[in-house]
Amino acid sequence: MNRLLTRTFGPTDWRRLLAKPETQWEPGKSALEMAVCWESSRDISRGIPAEVASALDSAPELLGAELVIGIAEHKVDFPGGGHPSQNDLWALLRRNELHISMTIEAKAGEPLDKLVKDWLPADGERSGKPARLEALQRQLGIADVGVSHLRYQLLHRTASALKEADRFGANVAVMLVQSFNRAADEESWQDMLRFGDVMGVQLQEGHVVPSPRPTDLPLYLGWVNSKPADLERLRAAI
């Protein structure tokens, strides 16, 4: 685990952190749009895009939360081995004495990876995946709930927010999907609604909503819609 970080000087610093920069780094794709959106917000007083701030403010407990630090392509390991959860952005925020661990999954028409039932190993195949899934479900407070119809990515992104909250001493965890192409992300929105149902959450676009599941810390889920970058935002981000 790398514990040494360097600050970014613009969106292109995010590119080198991608798993497949040659295919992920294009205008209109979520990786570039995410980098431009957050870099162009660095001089805002709260340090976060306006639509993300508005979503956080929809929960009275998170009203006015400000960015302390953000880490692009932040990796979080889980039991069972395999690849770590590579979060598009992990952010530590603060509201008075409250500290918030937030993971953000950016989308712009890309799917939310595999369904759990398709991700799990075939019968007879040796794998750490069942143990990993069991650990994720325990962390999310859904150990005895069927999740085969859910997108695996939503499980480990949300669990990442909780795990990093514990590691950094935060009081609250938030998992947010940030869409940069709402029309193309309709399938992901439906996937998010199904995940919300399992987590006991009635999701609304542009809001974060608390989950009643018995997680170690209060957990919020949300979805925000962001506009793709125009020339003005590109200039602000560079």
Task: Evaluate whether residue 136 is within a structural domain.
Answer: yes
Residue 38 — pLDDT band, cuts 50, 70, 90? Answer: very high
Task: Evaluate whether residue 160 is within a structural domain.
Answer: yes
Q: Would you state the pLDDT for residue 135?
A: 93
Task: Evaluate whether residue 89 is within a structural domain.
Answer: yes
Tokens of 89: 């952005």
Q: Is the predicted pLDDT of residue 114 greater than 80, yes or no?
A: yes
Task: Evaluate whether residue 1 is within a structural domain.
Answer: no
Mean pLDDT, residues 87-99:
96
Round to whole Å and give the CA distance between 230 and 235. 9
* 132-162 per-position pLDDT tens digit: 999 999 999 999 999 999 999 999 999 999 9
Write out the residue range of the structural domain in which residue 187 sits.
17-237
Residue 226 — pLDDT band, cuts 50, 70, 90? Answer: very high
Number of domains in the chain: 1
- Which helix (DSSP H) or strand (DSSP E) does residue 190 occupy? helix 186-198
Mean pLDDT, residues 23-32:
87
Torsion of CA 195, 53, 168, 111, to 10 degrees: 40
Task: Evaluate whether residue 9 is within a structural domain.
Answer: no
Round to whole Å and give the CA distance between 197 and 211. 10
Task: Evaluate whether residue 6 is within a structural domain.
Answer: no
- For the sheet with 207-210, list strands across it: 66-76, 85-95, 98-107, 172-179, 219-225, 207-210
Task: Evaluate whether residue 219 is within a structural domain.
Answer: yes
Round to whole Å and give the CA distance between 56 and 11. 24
Residue 9 — pLDDT band, cuts 50, 70, 90? Answer: confident
Task: Evaluate whether residue 2 is within a structural domain.
Answer: no
With contact defined as beta carbons under 8 Å apart, do 58 and 115 qualify? no
Nearest CA-CA partner of 91 in 138, 126, 55, 120: 55
